[in-house]
């Protein structure tokens, strides 16, 4: 009895003195440490190594970083004919994708913001493009826009827009992945398709932060659907839409799978994109230093986008 009474008086749970388990700060540090160490080791360090590699003459055959050659890789790479094309394409595809995603996500979020029966079913359909692994999506679209058997071409032929003597003719097929313009358009389409769900989700999340009274006031004032959309919803959503644009840009700009599987950067290098080019140079070509340099050309853009995203997100978070 006495022992339990004194145990109760102390209210201890095994320990009679305050320890690390009690203090928020140190405990927090300990709980955070493993994740931080891991990320520093496998993201931070490789990032620094990427910079070091880009400044060296390392190749797969001779991978040491010791062959310091300064910014030579950067110059070599910039002067190759493929570089400006790859850069141009990366920018075009990224910007086209993000513009379309922002517009479509705003529209789609209007639909999913309402409650309706069986919503869960439509949500599954809508989210499928994002759920699909990138490479498998690329394979799917490879078949969808196949140069011979594409069902899209089939539909176009049926409605008379494709084929001899028609608008998009005279060939009966559009050879999506074998030509520059259509190839870039196809890659944009794939990116828009797979990122739209994410964009919609982010916009939906942002909409809940808009106070309801504004909508009710607009209803009382007699504003129609489109007026509410353009005068109220879109301006209020502006910071969120920037976040969507930035996330889309980050994902598209850095992606390699789609171009690797669909156009392979061809014909020639006309549909080349920076990350795939980095892969071809560094891994398949074996020139690690050059590959790293190409990858790092992407970095300033990514960083600028990231800072923008952070600013916008904090702005919308702090009303």
Pick between residue 68 and residue 299 the one whose CB is nearest to another protein.
299
Residue 56: strand pairing partners: 68
| Contact in structure between 175 and 156 (CB atoms under 8 Å) | no
Length of the chain: 319
Pick between residue 35 and residue 81 the one whose CB is nearest to another protein.
35
Q: Quick one: tokens of 287? A: 């020139």
Torsion of CA 247, 253, 258, 264, to 10 degrees: 180
Distance from C-alpha of 283 to C-alpha of 291, rounded to nearest angstrom? 8
Smallest separation, CB 47 to another protein (Å): 6
Distance from C-alpha of 65 to C-alpha of 46, rounded to nearest angstrom? 13
Smallest separation, CB 118 to another protein (Å): 10
**Contacts by 44-47, CB closer than 8 A, 24 or more apart:** none
Pick between residue 88 and residue 264 the one whose CB is nearest to another protein.
264
Pick between residue 184 and residue 293 the one whose CB is nearest to another protein.
293
Smallest separation, CB 190 to another protein (Å): 9
Q: Quick one: tokens of 10? A: 């102390």
Smallest separation, CB 38 to another protein (Å): 6
Pick between residue 71 and residue 283 the one whose CB is nearest to another protein.
283
Q: 92: Cβ–Cβ under 8 A, 6 or more apart, which residues?
A: 184, 188
| Contact in structure between 199 and 102 (CB atoms under 8 Å) | yes
Pick between residue 58 and residue 96 the one whose CB is nearest to another protein.
58
Smallest separation, CB 67 to another protein (Å): 14
Smallest separation, CB 138 to another protein (Å): 7
Burial of 285 (0-12, 13-18, 19+ CB in 10 A): middle
């Amino acid at each position: 009895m006495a022992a339990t009474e004194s145990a109760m008086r102390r209210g201890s749970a095994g320990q009679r003195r305050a320890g690390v388990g009690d203090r928020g700060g140190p405990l927090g540090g300990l709980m955070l440490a493993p994740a931080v160490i891991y990320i520093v080791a496998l993201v931070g360090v490789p990032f620094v190594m990427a910079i070091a590699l880009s400044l060296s003459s390392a190749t797969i055959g001779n991978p040491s970083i010791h062959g310091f050659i300064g910014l030579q890789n950067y110059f070599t790479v910039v002067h190759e004919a493929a570089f400006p094309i790859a850069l141009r394409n990366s920018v075009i595809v990224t910007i086209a994708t993000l513009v379309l995603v922002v517009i479509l996500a705003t529209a789609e979020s209007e639909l999913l913001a309402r409650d309706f029966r069986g919503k869960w079913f439509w949500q599954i359909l809508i989210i499928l493009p994002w759920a699909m692994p990138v490479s498998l999506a690329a394979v799917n679209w490879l078949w969808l826009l196949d140069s011979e058997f594409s069902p899209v071409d089939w539909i176009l032929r049926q409605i008379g827009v494709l084929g001899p003597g028609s608008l998009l003719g005279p060939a009966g097929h559009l050879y999506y992945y074998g030509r520059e313009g259509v190839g870039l358009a196809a890659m944009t389409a794939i990116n828009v398709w797979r990122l739209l769900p994410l964009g919609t989700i982010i916009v939906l999340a942002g909409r809940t932060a808009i106070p309801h009274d504004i909508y009710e006031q607009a209803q009382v004032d007699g504003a129609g659907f489109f007026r509410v959309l353009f005068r109220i919803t879109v301006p209020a959503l502006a910071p969120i839409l920037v976040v969507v644009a930035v996330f889309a840009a980050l994902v598209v700009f850095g992606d390699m799978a789609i171009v690797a599987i669909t156009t392979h950067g061809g014909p020639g290098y006309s549909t080349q994109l920076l990350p795939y080019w980095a892969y071809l140079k560094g891994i398949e070509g074996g020139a690690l230093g050059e590959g790293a340099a190409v990858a790092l050309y992407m970095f300033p853009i990514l960083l600028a986008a990231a800072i923008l995203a952070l600013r916008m997100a904090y702005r919308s978070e702090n009303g």
